[in-house]
Structure 1
Amino acid sequence: MEFEMLDNGLTVKDYQRLRASAGWSELPERQIETALRNSLFTTAVKYQEQVIGMGRLVGDGCYICYIQDLVILPEYQGKGIGKYILERLVSYVKGQGITDTNITLGLFAAIGKEGFYQKQGFHIRPSDNRGSGMEIILPVHS
């Protein structure tokens, strides 16, 4: 399978379509445009002119980064595309680091996808020395 990589060129339409394929909620176009523009890095995989997977990083780029989105269309899962995208994201983060320091790369795995990340060296939280990952969803009103 030959595919093309597209760095920092993910479109709102493709982002929304990939989110929908994962069963995630639809977001307003303006919110996606801003999120993509403010991302540290995005990468997408194109196959036969269709974006079939994406990865997106957020964070400060030198101490803390998060893989916010990693989605592969269901029919293309299990073919190594997710692993390739993850490796590309990790490589980007390492390239941004300051010499002789560490960068924490975090993520929230979708239910049932934890094993994929564990195979790539990620650890489940909580652990003996790390607390639980947590979140709050805040409504924004004008």
Structure 2
Amino acid sequence: MTGRRTTIRAAACAAAAAGMAIGVIAGGGTANAAPKMLRVDQVPNVGVTVDRNGLSGGFAATLAATATGADTTRLRILPVGDACSRNLGQTRVAITWRNERTNHTDDVVFATCTAGKPSPGAEIRAGHGRISFTTTIIGKADRAFTVTPGVGWFIR
């Protein structure tokens, strides 16, 4: 009877190993999880733009956060309407963030828009926990002014 049990165990182990190999070959592993959009609770960034004739427009922009890796999160700013093609084309966004669990904090600055559309943003290593943030639109040559900074948080 011992020989039969050993044969059954060996067959079960071989089947499990084959199944794991097929899962890895087919991409069934969990090492690279797909990016996941995160819920962001926030007050949007609101401001005005000016040109040499005075007030030229206004804008509102929200933050989007996507979990892209084990500890990385991609932050993007999403201006409302066609602000990227009209009045935010030459601006940058500054984001100050803090992980409330670890108290780790940092800043990131990137272009608000690229080629008339929201830019891809930047990746941060915020870790896990509740991440609070503040956003500010920075205009080129003082041509955009944040009236109300964007503030909020998301859970990572």
**So what's the TM-score if we normalise by structure 1?**
0.28
Q: Counting strand residues as a fraction of each chain, which structure ranks higher?
A: 2
Comparing both chains, which one has the higher relative contact order based on Cα–Cα distances under 8 Å and sequence gaps of 6 or more? 2
